[in-house]
Structure 1
Amino acid sequence: MARLILASGSPRRAELLKQLGLSFEQLSPDIDETQKVVERASDYVARLAKEKANTVLNKHLDATIIAADTCICIDGQILGKPKSKQHAFRMWQQLSGRTHHVFTGVCVVNKDYQEYCVVETQVKFQQLSLNDMEYYWATEEPLGKAGGYAIQGIAACYIPEIKGSYTNVVGLPLHETVMLLKACLPQKEFL
């Protein structure tokens, strides 16, 4: 089996890869994640996924690297991780009763190959009351999550509909990741 490295510190991405039965190492590259001026969400996540993958590859040329970056976008604005309760409430007010977009860039790279893709999923939130927001904040689940929510957790009860890949919203679209790995690795080495 080829040596695989997940270039991410995300426990959610690691859990998703483990679902596939893959053995891999996990390294978290240190890159500048600042969004460039007038950079679209899809371009932003693609750029970060490629930078993460190549940063790790430069130190581990014998490995195949999987990297990803996910963002929440509404009204052309990327919503980051909540910095405070007030920040989370502002984001949820934007998302409340509306559909937003989740973009994940995935890059698979080794010394002979580099390919990437961007996956988009539409997520609809119910109208959130102040009580909903107070309750959800108190769970501490929103901390460290883009857009201030985790679809695989309590937030699922606020989401009546998604269009597209569920695993994309969690942080790693598995179907597309497998397609990139199959293109990169010989069949005998993967699934």
Structure 2
Amino acid sequence: MAHIILASSSPRRQELLTQLGLDFEIYSPDVDEAVLDGETVQHYVERLARDKAQAVLARFPDAIVIAADTSLSFAGQIIGKPESKQHAFAIWSALSGQWHDVYSGVCVATSSQSLSTVVHTEVEFRSLSHAEMEKYWATGEPAGKAGAYAIQGIAAQYIPQIRGSYSNVVGLPLYETAQLLERVQTQVL
């Protein structure tokens, strides 16, 4: 088995990847996450996943690298992590009572090949009162999370339903990641 590196410091991605029964190491690359002018969310998450994988491969050229990036899209806008409490409240106000889209770009790469995909899940977010927003913000959970919520945490109570991959919303679509990894390992062995 080749040396596998997860290009992420996200505890959620680490937990998810562990579910595949893999032995892996962690190395979180420093990659510019700025959105390019006119970039769609699909292109954005795939580009970032590929950039992260390539950054790790530059340091560990003999590894198989798994990289991912997850973002939300609502009303044609990419919604990232909240920059402040006010920003989180604005995100929740927009998402309240609405469906939004969650996209993850996943890249599995070696020095000789790079395979990637984008996974899409639709998420319904129930309407939140100002008091609920205050209470949720006070938990600390929304900080550092795309869309200012964690479906696997306290925010599960705000999400009546999803259409698509649950693990995608958490941050690493497991089925697609396993498929990419299988394709890369077949060619590495």
Shorter chain as denominator, the TM-score bin is over 0.9
How far did 1:18 drift? 0.7
Matches of 1:86 and 1:75, distance apart in 2 = 19
Which one-letter code corresponds to 1:126 in the other structure? R
Matches of 1:17 and 1:126, distance apart in 2 = 29
Which one-letter code corresponds to 1:60 in the other structure? F
Structure 1 length-normalised TM: 0.96
How far did 1:183 drift? 0.3
Q: Does 1:21 align with 2:21?
A: yes
Corresponding position of 1:52: 52
How far did 1:186 drift? 2.9
Matches of 1:187 and 1:39, distance apart in 2 = 32
| Equivalence map 1:18-167=2 (5 Å) | 18-167=18-167
Name the CA shift for 1:188/1:62 in 2 (closer, same or farther; >3 Å): closer
Q: Does 1:171 align with 2:171?
A: yes
CA RMSD between the two structures: 1.3
Structure 2 length-normalised TM: 0.97
Identity percentage of aligned residues: 58
How far did 1:20 drift? 1.3
SS in 2 for 1:73: strand
Where does the alignment leave 5 or more consecutive residues of structure 2 unmatched? Answer: none
